[in-house]
A and B are shown apart, each in its own frame.
Chain A
Amino acid sequence: MVATLEQVFRDEWGRVLAGLIGFLGDFDLAEEAAQEAFAIAAERWPRAGTPANPRAWLVTTARNRAIDRLRRDRTLAAKTRLLDVQEPVEDEMEETTIPDERLELLFTCCHPALALDAQVALTLQTLGGLRTEEIARAFLVPHETMSKRLVRAKRKIKAAGIPFRVPPPHLLPDRLAAVVAVVYLIFNEGYGGRGELAAEAIRLGRVLAELMPDEPEVHGLLSLMLTNDARRAARFADGEVVLLRDQDRSLWDLDQIAAGRAALDRALALGGRGPYVLQAAIAVLHVEEPQDWARLAALYGELARLTASPVVELNRAAALAEAGEVESALALVESLDLDRYHYLHSTRAELLRRLERTDDARAAYRRAVELVHSDAERRFLERRLEELDG
């Protein structure tokens, strides 16, 4: 019972809150009303049973709470859109009359006038229903810092007049790219170990794909996240990094890989060729057996042209090497301006080892060890060094 209640809350929070913000035009008031409604539900539902339509019940209760609150506080009422509403709806609403305004909320939270860390936190709080302390823990910052960040962001939305809407077509490409980037950032925070964040990002990705079914980049993002996340259980063994080629494939989530491939197909059918579609195509190719390294190198090349990212070029070099072109891979690696990046040196080391330039390889591995941050990856590099000496 408790589990189902929590599940309903988790599923409904973003949708209920988005509708309230759209209705009230005020983040704080909406959040307060939603919290009250969810608290009443938590107290009442286990006793009296879950209503037939939990969402409608939550929205109606929250709206009524907000209206009560506004009646008590006329000055606040004067500042909200409620004045435009002639008859506050007191009866339980029909499912069909509750607009889904999660997309408006997502675009508001990811508005470029907010700092990126605030966009991320706000998205997790409003759409994901995560509590401030959960977000603080996930991003390894003190609770107070995260709380201030959220308060400041909401204050700015109000004071600066950040609109609650899906941007018009001439702004949409840039703004959608910002939303996609925020969701992917949340995913990557989670991919490094904090699994609940990755699951949250995938949930947001699914919502986005449902609400913007014609945007290829959205399906690309979902595909990329599903495919990479499907390998989560195989990425580490006893705290050590396991390279893709050494991963235990029985640990892969095959259903999720299939879902990732389906999302990619949808993106490609929509004519998508943007950075997330390309990354998804690469992720999907990576889990296929045998791997088509020449095609991977070509996709990395296409992605590098799009993003001008030297990190992508580095991946292209690795794919070229796997495709048998070790010399040109090494030339590519050595042309990149990434001296502080340990993967550059570990990739270079690996290529030098294959070309039997053992001394150069050893020096490159040592440089990589100097720069690496993660203990698991350092141990991995040290093992490679030992193998070289042995």
Chain B
Amino acid sequence: MKYMLLIHQGSAPTPYSPEEWARLSEDEQQAVAADYQAINQTPGVSPGLQLQPPESATTVRMEDGRTLTTDGPFVAVKEALGGYLVFEADDLDAAIELASRIPAARMGGAVEVRPIAEW
């Protein structure tokens, strides 16, 4: 089975917000980086991309043929997607275990595990 792991930063500090990031000790910062590296090197993982913070998002809709744009993400800033990866695993238990190792999950964010549609 293939799963996409959608990483929601929530209140987890990232280097994009230097003030909050600076509140982590140097050891903690290094641990976060090392953990993401270890995740990306786990067999079965296809690393995804990290997104710029949700404040940089523009949301687009079409209404009556007109393009409507709004500033910010589709969902609330706190709920917005921060990054993702794809994991090929035997079952959901394996995907949950990988998700639980993603730093965002323990630092105020959450990881959503979604099976990828296969036809």
Q: Which of A's residues lie within 8 Å of B, judged by CB?
A: 111, 113, 159-163, 167, 171
Contacts and interface: CB of A to CB of B under 8 A. Distances in A.
B115 interface: yes
B31 interface: no
A163 B115 contact: no
Nearest to B89: A161
B1 A161 contact: yes
A159 B91 contact: no
A160 B92 contact: yes
B115 A160 contact: yes
* Across the A-B interface, the 10 shortest Cβ-Cβ residue pairs: A163-B91, A161-B1, A161-B91, A161-B92, A162-B92, A160-B92, A160-B115, A159-B115, A163-B93, A113-B92
Contacts of B64: none
Contacts of B95: 161
A161 B115 contact: yes
Interface string B1-14: 10100000000000
A171 B93 contact: yes
Interface in B24-69: none
Residue from A113, A160, A167, A171 with most neighbouring chain B CB atoms (10 Å)? A160
For chain B, give the interface size range: 10 to 19
B19 interface: no
- Chain A contact residues: helix, strand, loop or mixed: loop
Given A113-B96, A160-B115, A163-B92, 15 more contacts: A111-B92, A113-B92, A160-B113, A161-B1, A161-B3, A161-B89, A161-B90, A161-B91, A161-B92, A161-B115, A162-B91, A162-B92, A162-B93, A167-B93, A171-B93
A236 B93 CA distance: 45
A113 B113 CA distance: 10
Interface of B: 1, 3, 89-93, 95-96, 113, 115
A161 B95 CA distance: 10
Nearest to B95: A161
Contacts of A167: 93
Nearest to A163: B91
Nearest to B117: A159
Contacts of A160: 92, 113, 115
A163 B1 CA distance: 11
A159 B91 CA distance: 10
A171 B96 CA distance: 11
A159 B1 CA distance: 9
Nearest to A175: B93
A111 B113 CA distance: 15
A93 to B, nearest CB: 28
13 contacts: A111-B92, A113-B96, A160-B92, A160-B113, A160-B115, A161-B3, A161-B95, A162-B91, A162-B92, A162-B93, A163-B91, A163-B92, A167-B93
Contacts of B93: 162-163, 167, 171
A161 B116 CA distance: 11
A218 to B, nearest CB: 21
Contacts of A161: 1, 3, 89-92, 95, 115
Contacts of B91: 161-163
A115 B1 CA distance: 22
Contacts of A163: 90-93
Contacts of B3: 161
A129 to B, nearest CB: 26
B64 to A, nearest CB: 36
Contacts of B96: 113
B92 to A, nearest CB: 5
Contacts of A111: 92
A167 B89 CA distance: 16
Nearest to B91: A163
A161 B96 CA distance: 11
Nearest to B93: A163
